Structure 1
Amino acid sequence: MQGPEADLQLLTEAALDVGPIALRFWRNDPQAWDKAGDAGPVTEADLAVNDALLARLSAARPGYGWLSEESEANPERLDAEHCFIIDPIDGTRAFIDGQEGFAHSLAVASGDRITAAVVHLPALDLTYAAHEGGPALLNGQPIAPTDADIDGAQVLTYRGVTDPAHWKGGRLPPFQRQFRSSLAWRLCLAAEGRFDAALSLRAAWEWDIAAGSLIAERAGATVSDRRGGRMRFNSPRALLDGMVVAGPRLHGQLIAALA
């Protein structure tokens, strides 16, 4: 019988199965090239993982739509009741550089909401998971965000966020900026309380955020777009208006401070 719990089990098994595929290429000089339209780098590992996930997941759920960073757009997904939203390797630049912080990001959307999600980092042996109605787990153990205040908070974001133009009155709040290449992992690090927040003011692809958004939400974080609105997935453009992910108190402070 299908449902969020069964979908989570499927996603977990699939993520664990493709980890060794990625690791065969990692630190082994994989072929890499830049995608058209300044869309960033891709490697032969991204495509191999994507092919394996497409075969595994589509066979298990033939009626589900498919949205992946490394697949051609398929408009039929918009009419599907459920849709896989996949980033085969999130943090491709870290992968190319031989860093450990790359992830497989797998989610199922039911309508416009995420109902099952896994973020797996094979080089670090970390598996974050959640389904609608259940807890957020890291390697089987429950996780929760911090209850930090904005003063001195450790925020995972990119350098451009510190531009005073993004903040009311041109005043950058007194948080500390940190960075990780994988956007999906940033959400999970905020969900488990290793950092206080994950923030992006740029438009973001759904496949980068889908899985981590549910994990953070089920952990107890407040998850929204940059304007405080609810994220909606499996949209025609597959783009989200940034993200703000933090414990409820800090989330409210960040939203209030943004221009």
Structure 2
Amino acid sequence: MTDAALARSIAEEAGRLLLSIRHSGATGRALGDAGDRAANTLILDRLRAARPGEFILSEESEDDPARCSARRCWVVDPLDGTAEYAAGRGDWAVHVGLSIDGVPAAGAVALPARGLVFDTEACAAAPPARVPPRIVVSRTRPPAEAVLLAERLGGELVPMGSAGAKAMAVVMGEADIYIHAGGQYAWDNCAPAAVALAAGLHVSRLDGTPLTYNRRETWLPDLLICSPAVAGTILAVLAEGGEG
């Protein structure tokens, strides 16, 4: 099985498990915690069985710094958007990504509440960006950079939950730009970045530099996903805003 097919199969199975746990009677934080634990156990078990000896960096497991010396490292968020999941919303995701030499090379993102799974092998090309653009941002803390873009480009801010849900909105053409500032972790965006790249989208830091993974530091300060056709304009606006 290819890496992408494996990631898809595991993300899909974890999504089904998470949907079933929603009907277990747990609510609120207890539901989120139960989902995190169960999905993490399933994903780790499946990856260890299929790719024995390979490193896994998961939000829900203790980190092994020895992974930094390996070319391949799986980067996993068993339940991205725990708050949305626990609240009964649909904008949460399962991330199973693979970093090879620091690059988000393969992976899958499942949106179980919508019955959707995207992977790097079978992902269709993202549609062209619209004008004015729809800009997906955090539900709770839209970054100043997104507000600046909306003002300069005449765009509309669209609040949404998990990073995976926002990235896949751009992949599907439901949104045109995903911008995040204020920090994420590697597991928040490795699989979404891999899928977005496979869909032909621009993926970078807000200064235009590439995202790199499997570093000792798991913190990633910012992220931009958009059509390559508008990436130059967006990066220029952000650079001007930073200088101002």
Please report the TM-score for the alignment, with normalisation by the length of structure 2.
0.88
Figure out how many residues of one structure are paired with residues of the other and give that number.
Answer: 237
C-alpha displacement of 1:32: 5.5
Whichever residue aligns with residue 206 of structure 1, its letter is: A
Closer/same/farther in 2, CA of residues 55 and 246 from structure 1, 3 Å limit: same
| CA-to-aligned-CA distance 1:39-59 (integer Å, 9 cap, x gap) | xx9511111110111111012
Of 4, 10, 15, the match for 1:8 = 4
Partner of 2:179: 199
- 2:25 counterpart of 1:19: no
5 Å-filtered alignment, 1:1-259, equals 6-26=2-22, 28-30=24-26, 33=29, 42-131=32-121, 137=123, 142-149=124-131, 152-158=132-138, 160-161=141-142, 163=144, 167=148, 173-258=153-238, 259=242
C-alpha displacement of 1:172: 5.2
Whichever residue aligns with residue 14 of structure 2, its letter is: V
C-alpha displacement of 1:24: 1.8
Closer/same/farther in 2, CA of residues 255 and 160 from structure 1, 3 Å limit: farther
C-alpha displacement of 1:73: 1.4
8 Å CA contact retained: 1:107, 1:211? yes
8 Å CA contact retained: 1:173, 1:257? no
Helix, strand or coil for the counterpart of 2:99?
Answer: strand
State the distance in 2 between where 1:216 and 1:8 align. Answer: 13
Question: Alignment identity in percent?
Answer: 26
Question: What do you get for the CA RMSD once the two structures are aligned?
Answer: 2.4
Helix, strand or coil for the counterpart of 1:255?
Answer: helix
Gaps of 5+ in 2: none
Partner of 1:38: none
State the distance in 2 between where 1:73 and 1:172 align. Answer: 41
Which of the two has greater helix per residue?
Answer: 2
C-alpha displacement of 1:163: 3.5
State the distance in 2 between where 1:30 and 1:234 align. Answer: 35
C-alpha displacement of 1:113: 0.5
